[in-house]
Each structure stands twice: as structure tokens, then as C-alpha cells.
Amino acid sequence: MVIDDGRRFLLRSDEKFDVILMDPLRTTTAYSNNLHSRQFFALAGKHLTPGGVLMVGGVGDSPVIPRTLLEEFRYVRAYPSFSLASQAPLHRNRMRLEHLLNSLPAEVRMVMRALEQEAQEGKALTEATESYPANEDWRPVSEYYLGLQLRQWLEPKGGGCKGPRVLMN
């Protein structure tokens, strides 16, 4: 286990990992884009073994992070509070999942099952995030919370626009 600034560590290392777990700053915190950009996800991907998985926590309900992951990874599964990404298919082992869930208290098991039901991947995730830009090192989107909220308010949903059309870069 390595606890360090993720970007700095990966830039200085040639190590490969089966799993990279990230729970960085909230996406709306200043400088969080250093760990939420397409360039960082590409860097993390170079440090994964074949079939390795990147888990990005703390993403909340922002579609920008899954959208950005889709720029660099072939397979992405987005849950309400984290996303998984890999170059290999993300298989679910239903028997193992049931075994783990059954070891939890009933109320926790219920919450975990609900989270699993909310997961999006494949075409559904691509369609849900296609109108959002990817985070870039020099063009952060999610880091600026108020700008992101305004953009989401202005985005046309179902063909109609809630407010004036504004180009935001």
C-alpha cells in the first residue's frame, strides 16, 4: 500500500498495480483536478497490470468523472459515490457478491443492493455522460462547482433548455 500524492508517485515510479484506489479531495475542491483529469487517468492506466482496476472515490453525482474515465478506459462502471475503470471487462461474480452481502447486517445489505442497482456502464453510461466535457489538466470542469452547477442548469434535458444558452469554457 502506498499513501502519497498519487500523481507525483506515479510520475516517479515504473511499478504496476492490480488495483489503484483513489479517494482524493472532493471534485469541487481547488486543485482536485490534478487527480481527476484525463491526463491523470491515462497515467494511472499505464500503471495497471492487464486486467487491473482503477477505483475513483468521492465522485458524488457528477457525470464529469465517469465521462473523463470513458476517455481513457474501455470499461467504466459508475456508482453513486465511486467509479471503476479498466481496459478489461469488469465482471461481476454474483456468488461472491451474495456471499459478501449476506455477511453484512440487513440494513447495510439493503443499502448495498440499492447501490448496485444504481450502477451504470456501457452504452447507458456513455449516453448519460455524452453531453458533459471531460476534465483536462488545463481545462478543469468539475473543480469549479458553481460553474458546473450553472452548466448543469443550462444543459438541455429532453430537448428543452431551462435557461439562456451560454458557452462555458
Residues serving a catalytic function are: 23
| Cell numbers describing residue 115 | 447501490
* Residue keyed to cell 451560454: 166
N-to-C CA span, the chain:
38
| Cell numbers describing residue 168 | 462555458
Query: Could you tell me if 32 and 25 are in contact, meaning their C-beta atoms sit under 8 angstroms apart?
Result: yes
Residue 62 half-sphere exposure, CB side, CA atoms within 13 Å? Answer: 27
* φ, ψ dihedrals at 86, nearest 5°: -160, 160
